[in-house]
A = this chain, B = another copy of it.
Amino acid sequence: MHRFFLPDHAFQGDEIVFPVEPARQILRVLRLRIGEKVAALDNLGWEFRVELVEINPARVKGRILGKQPVSGEPPVHLHMFLCLSQREKFEWMLQKCTEAGAAEFTPVLSSRALVQDFPALENKYQRWSRIIQESAEQSGRGRIPQLNGPVKYDAAVGQATANSILCLLAWENEKTLRLADALIGQKPGAAVSLLIGPEGGLSDEEAELAVRLGWRPVSLGRGILRMETAALVAAALTVDWFEANSG
């Protein structure tokens, strides 16, 4: 069943009035017919089963048949701090980590990041938000991961540890502590921050700063992973650990 996250104003009593973009999807792309069912999500924790009752260029409307609490959310609030990289890789990480169960993204400007231009980033937010939302819809997520504004490296590592949650740094120089072992003792629903360095790796100074501020360097195995591979593998290992340890 096709799934759509919809804004507050789309829910009108027992009716759904689809906003322009999902209406276009239903009419032009998916070519759904009256009587077909879709799922509407309010991003507040509810999933609605909806029967389409009106489909035309002027309006796409549905009738709510029932609702249930969302499933598909992992038992961890995983906040990914992703150093900025080339467009394609960065978008890929947003898409894949959303599938894997990340709850929040913060783009990070590290000294070796391939992208350094702060203002230029603003324009990308709409595109990135759409990628995240589509991935959340397709992968059965119950909530859209949150996308924060970009922050400089120093601020990012400081901010995360200030909230005194578990902060893990995927670092190729860490050879012994496996990511899963760093999670031992965490409770279901815990918040975990995960920092993925840029292509060229973090500089020694950057890694040292993070460690000084309380980030734990972890290993993702004996292989040397590309940045985008590391992001997905780290997210998947974290979510899997919580799935296994949430009874």
Contact = CB atoms under 8 A, between A and B. Distances in A.
Interface of A: 71-74, 96, 99-101, 138-141, 178, 180-181, 221-226, 229, 232-233, 236-237, 239-240, 243-244
Copies of this chain per assembly: 2
A180 B162 CA distance: 34
Contact of A244 (B99, B178, B229): B178
A70 to B, nearest CB: 11
A39 to B, nearest CB: 13
Given A74-B221, A74-B223, A99-B224, 7 more contacts: A100-B225, A140-B224, A178-B240, A221-B239, A222-B243, A233-B236, A237-B237
A242 to B, nearest CB: 10
Given A237-B236, A240-B237, A221 B178 contact: no
- Which residue, A224, A225, A233, has most C-beta atoms of chain B within 10 A? A233
A94 to B, nearest CB: 13
A42 to B, nearest CB: 19
Sort A-B residue pairs by CB-CB distance and give the 5 closest, nearest first.
A233-B236, A140-B224, A139-B223, A139-B224, A99-B229
